[in-house]
């Protein structure tokens, strides 16, 4: 996994609407990348629903939260609609898992991203990282609040 103090790898991925989003789009702002395995899985559904509850605290701290998984932009759009969340979801779809690999959180054998969090400062430097022991575990929202 990427380490605190490293420059975050640049990326450009389509969001849930098919619009390209890059790390440079967040220059000058703090960014929380939420890597998760798959849309519509029960654990991912629970995670994004739980994280929705801390959006006011993230906003107050000036942190933007973005989810990333290997699903397509079309799947992300349907997932957002089902959950009723406004979180930007980026499709690390093709080449599959490249951004997750760049951040050191791609699980080759499973073909998915690990469940990991990466907080990036306004200069693009990694401030904080967190990875669960298994993709079945959900990072508690409290660890994010402590980090920000």
Report residue 3's pLDDT band, with 50, 70 and 90 as the boundaries.
Answer: very high
In DSSP notation, 90-101 reads EE-TTTTTHHHH
pTM of the model: 0.96
Cα–Cα distance measured from residue 85 to residue 107, given in angstroms and rounded to the nearest whole number? 26
In angstroms, the first-to-last Cα distance of the chain is: 19
Task: Tell me, yes or no, if 108 is annotated catalytic.
Answer: no
**Which parts of 20-137 are beta strand (E)?**
20-22, 30-35, 63-69, 88-91, 106-107, 112-113, 116-120, 126-131
Q: What is the mean predicted confidence (pLDDT) over 4-19? A: 97
**Please, is 43 exposed, middle or buried when counting C-beta atoms within 10 Å of its C-beta (0-12, 13-18, 19+)?**
middle
Instruction: Indicate if the alpha-carbon torsion angle 90, 95, 97, 98 is positive or negative.
Output: negative
| 95-121 residue pLDDT tens | 999 999 999 999 999 999 999 999 999
Report residue 35's pLDDT band, with 50, 70 and 90 as the boundaries.
Answer: very high
- CATH entry, 12-147, from 3.40.30.10, 3.40.640.10, 3.40.50.970, 3.30.565.10: 3.40.30.10
Radius of gyration of the chain (CA): 14
Q: What is the mean predicted confidence (pLDDT) over 9-14? A: 97
Q: What is the mean predicted confidence (pLDDT) over 78-99? A: 95
- Which of 2, 8, 44, 120 is an active site residue? 44
Report residue 72's pLDDT band, with 50, 70 and 90 as the boundaries.
Answer: very high
């Amino acid at each position: 996994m990427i380490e605190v103090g490293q420059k975050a790898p640049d990326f450009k991925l389509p969001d849930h609407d098919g619009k390209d989003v890059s790390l440079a789009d967040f220059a000058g702002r703090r960014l929380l990348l939420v890597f998760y395995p798959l849309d519509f899985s029960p654990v991912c559904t629970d995670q994004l629903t739980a994280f929705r509850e801390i959006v006011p605290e993230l906003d107050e701290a000036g942190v933007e939260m973005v989810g990333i998984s290997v699903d397509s932009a079309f799947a992300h759009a349907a997932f957002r609609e089902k959950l009723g969340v406004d979180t930007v979801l980026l499709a690390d779809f093709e080449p599959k898992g490249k951004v997750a690999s760049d951040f050191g959180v791609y699980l080759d054998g499973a073909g998915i991203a690990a469940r990991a969090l990466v907080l990036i400062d306004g200069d693009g430097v990694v401030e904080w990282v967190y990875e669960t022991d298994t993709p079945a575990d959900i990072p508690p929202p409290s660890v994010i609040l402590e980090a920000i």
